[in-house]
Amino acid sequence: MQRCPSVRLSNGLSIPALGLGTSHDGGYSHEAVVYALEECGIRHIDTAKRYGCEEALARSLSESTVPREDIWITTKLWPGDYGYQSAKEACRASAARLGVEYLDLYLMHWPDSMIPGRSKREVRAETWRALEDLYDEGLCHAIGVSNFLIPHLKELKEDCGVVPHVNQVEFHPFQQPWELVEFCRKEGIASEGYSPLAKGQALSHPLILELAKKHSRSASQICIRWSIQNGVITIPKSTKAQRISENCQVFGFQLEDKDMAALRALHDGRHVSWDPTHVE
* Binding residue ranges for substrate: 109
Count of Cβ atoms closer than 10 Å to residue 172 Cβ: 29
Report the number of secondary-structure helices (H) and strands (E) in the chain: 10, 10
**What are residue 274's phi and psi, to 5 degrees?**
-65, 145
Residue ranges for the known binding site are: 109
How many CB atoms sit inside 10 A of residue 9's CB?
19
Q: Is 51 a catalytic residue?
A: yes
Q: Which long-range contacts (CB under 8 A, 24 or more apart) does 123-128 make?
A: 123/82, 123/83, 124/82, 124/152, 124/155, 124/156, 124/159, 125/155, 125/156, 125/159, 125/160, 126/82, 126/83, 126/84, 127/77, 127/82, 127/83, 127/84, 127/87, 128/156, 128/159, 128/160, 128/162
Which residues have CB under 8 Å from 52's CB, separation 6+?
24
- The catalytic position among 28, 51, 106, 194 is 51
Catalytic residues: 51
